[in-house]
């Protein structure tokens, strides 16, 4: 089976003379769930699907436990997981307090053995186009107004599906909607949702 790819261009800031440049990106075939992963491992071993799923769940919990204590987790042949942080730029350590330093993300660095598995990867240009739809701000507003007529909040995944965007475009357009005062973030930082700001999408 081939890995499908297509070409995408990064958004260009307004009033920029920079010409768009294309870069190749893997076209996702979907997301494999824990249940599907457990069944695959079950088919390759003598373990039951329930046992494998239990181990995978325990692995996620253990990973979170050790990362929370500042440890790097290494799975031999797979790679390492570690936390990254973010803070305002400073010149000297004493210029910033611990309260200004926050969690940024969990970074995965693959082992050489895993990367070697893909040295002979077979690539094929995707026939089905999966670029984001080119919706104007007005068209996005219209879709959000209809959506908020029956919903109180919207997640990035729902917004992505609503507008036919890919993930990075959905994130960028949501940030712009927040900046424009049309939406505001709610919920935890790790999984935010969005609701109309100042009743912007309220129907008459």
pLDDT in tens, 148-158: 888 889 998 88
The ranges assigned to domains in the chain are 3-125, 137-199
Higher pLDDT, residue 78 or 168:
78
Tell me if 186 sits within 8 A of 167, measured CB to CB.
Answer: no
Tokens of 176: 């712009």
DSSP state of 89: -
- Give the pLDDT confidence score for residue 170 in this predicted structure: 87
Is 196's pLDDT higher than 80? yes
Tell me if 84 sits within 8 A of 104, measured CB to CB.
Answer: yes
- Give the pLDDT confidence score for residue 123 in this predicted structure: 87
| pLDDT band, very low/low/confident/very high, at 12 (cuts 50, 70, 90) | low
Angstrom distance (rounded) from CA 34 to CA 136: 37
Matching residue, tokens 């261009």: 9
Tell me if 81 sits within 8 A of 72, measured CB to CB.
Answer: yes
Query: Which CATH topology does 3-125 take?
Result: HU Protein; Chain A (4.10.520)
- Give the pLDDT confidence score for residue 133 in this predicted structure: 62
Tell me if 198 sits within 8 A of 181, measured CB to CB.
Answer: yes
What is the pTM for the complete model shown?
Answer: 0.57
Query: Which residues, in sequence order, are CB contacts of 57 under 8 Å at separation 6+?
Result: 34
Task: Name the least confident of 7-16, 73-82, 106-115, 130-139.
Answer: 7-16
Query: Which residues, in sequence order, are CB contacts of 87 under 8 Å at separation 6+?
Result: 96, 100, 101, 102
Q: What are phi and psi of 150, to 5 degrees?
A: -130, 0
Higher pLDDT, residue 133 or 69:
69
pLDDT in tens, 76-132: 999 999 999 888 887 887 777 888 888 889 999 999 999 999 988 888 887 765 555
Please state, in angstroms and as integers, the Cα–Cα distance from residue 159 to each residue in 34, 58, 154, 171, 199, following that order: 24, 32, 6, 9, 18
CATH class, 137-199 region: mainly alpha
């Amino acid at each position: 089976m081939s890995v499908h790819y297509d070409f995408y261009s990064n958004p260009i800031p307004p009033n920029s003379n920079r010409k768009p440049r294309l870069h190749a990106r893997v076209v996702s075939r979907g997301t494999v769930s824990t249940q599907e992963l457990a069944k695959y491992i079950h088919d390759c071993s003598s373990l039951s699907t329930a046992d494998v799923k239990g181990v995978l769940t325990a692995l996620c919990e253990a990973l979170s436990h050790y990362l929370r204590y500042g440890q790097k987790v290494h799975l031999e042949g797979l790679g390492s997981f570690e936390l990254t942080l973010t803070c305002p730029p400073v010149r000297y350590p004493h210029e910033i307090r611990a309260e200004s330093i926050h969690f940024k993300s969990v970074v995965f660095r693959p082992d050489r053995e895993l990367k070697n598995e893909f040295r002979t990867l077979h690539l094929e240009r995707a026939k089905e186009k999966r670029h984001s739809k080119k919706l104007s701000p007005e068209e996005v507003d219209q879709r959000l107004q209809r959506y908020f007529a029956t919903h109180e909040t919207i997640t990035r995944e729902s917004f992505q599906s609503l507008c036919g965007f890919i993930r990075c475009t959905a994130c960028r357009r949501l940030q712009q909607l927040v900046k424009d005062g049309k939406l505001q973030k709610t919920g935890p930082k790790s999984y935010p949702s969005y609701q109309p700001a100042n009743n912007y999408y309220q129907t008459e």
